[in-house]
Amino acid sequence: MNYDLVLCGVGGQGVLSIAWVIDHAVHEAGLYLKQSEVHGMAQRGGAVSAYVRISDQPVASDLIADGGASLLLTVEPMEALRYTRLLRPDGWIVTDVTPLENVDVYPPHEALYKVLFSVPHLVALDATQLAQKAGTVKAQNMVVLGAAASQLPLPLALLEKQIEELFAGKGERIVKANINAFRIGDAASRFAAALVAAGVASTVVARVLPRLVFEPQPVSQASVDAWCARLLAADGAQTALRLFEAGVSVPVEAAP
């Protein structure tokens, strides 16, 4: 088994905390790991990235070749596009859609989303808002990690255990908020997968998911069925577009 992933974002978004959780879970699972990091000018809002290579055999290099990564996990949407050349054709992008405009030439948001939402294997969600719901906006990185958890070759329980250990020194409230953020992200990604499995186009799901608010538990089957019926209707794509452009958050259980 070989699994390569790229983590990226902007300084202060907790990219290396995601790496810490994954790295420690890999070691506890008895697998091999190599990781490299690029901090950039992180303290000034610069780019931060990490290459993580997981295997059941010793890993020779910490570099990931173009077209070799199974997953691109990012906390900032433009950073997601920066690293797409590293993805396999069947690779996944999991990202927050909340822009952090740390450069003067940041692209117009709609142009950014047009490219991002055309990616066939994508989980895009408003991790910033979902982190606030979980208890702290700083947990947006754990929302994104939760949204990627089903793609990782690691048990969810093992990832949650490492999250608890990472934040144990910050008190029970912070631990709970980060665990809830992780579970919210996982619920969102599994809901998206259910829509796609039911035949909803991935581009439609990409527009809907960022506007839905999740609980730290699986979405009910009744709500999944209701959203599938609405989005598979003749005007489903227009419904998704209107919902995204309106910018209004909707509880996922308040199905249309």
pLDDT tens, position by position, 11-30: 778 888 999 999 999 999 99
In a domain, 66, yes or no: yes
116: domain CATH number is: 3.40.920.10
Provide the pLDDT for residue 18: 95
pLDDT, residue 43, reads 52
Tell me: pLDDT of 41 over 60.
no
Convert the pLDDT of each residue in 154-186 to its tens digit.
999 999 999 999 999 999 999 999 999 999 999
* Predicted pLDDT of residue 142: 97
Spell 166-186 as b/e; 16+ CB within 10 A means b: bbeeeeeebbbbbbbbbbbbb
Residue 143 domain boundaries: 2-251
| C-alpha span between 27 and 6 (Å, rounded) | 18
Which tens digits make up the pLDDT trace of 110-151?
999 999 999 999 999 999 999 999 999 999 999 999 999 999
Cβ atoms of 251 and 213 closer than 8 Å = yes
Phi, psi of 12 (to 5 degrees): 95, -5
Q: How far is CA 15 from CA 120, 218, 251, in A?
A: 24, 25, 27
Task: Give the tens place of pLDDT for each residue, 215-253.
Answer: 999 999 999 999 999 999 999 999 999 999 998 899 999
Beta bridge partner(s), residue 34: 53
Q: Based on the structure, what is the number of domains in the chain?
A: 1
**What local confidence, expressed as pLDDT, does residue 45 receive?**
62
**Can you read off the two tokens belonging to residue 147?**
């949204």
SS3 41: coil
Please indicate, yes or no, if residue 36 is contained in any of the structural domains.
Answer: yes
Q: What is the pTM of this model?
A: 0.93
Question: Would the pLDDT of 31 be above 90?
Answer: yes
Query: Is the pLDDT score of 196 beyond 60?
Result: yes
Helix (H) or strand (E) holding 69: strand 69-74
**Rounded CA separation 111/123 (Å):** 18
pLDDT of residue 134: 94
- H-run or E-run covering 50: strand 47-55
- The pair of structure tokens assigned to 61 is 């290099």
Assess whether pLDDT exceeds 80 at residue 46.
no
| pLDDT: which is higher, 159 or 1 | 159
Is 256 part of any domain? no
Q: Is 72 a member of any domain?
A: yes
64 domain-assigned: yes
Is pLDDT at 192 greater than 80 in this prediction? yes
CA-to-CA distance for 23 and 21, rounded, in angstroms? 6
Q: Looking at the predicted structure, is the pLDDT value of residue 103 above 90?
A: no
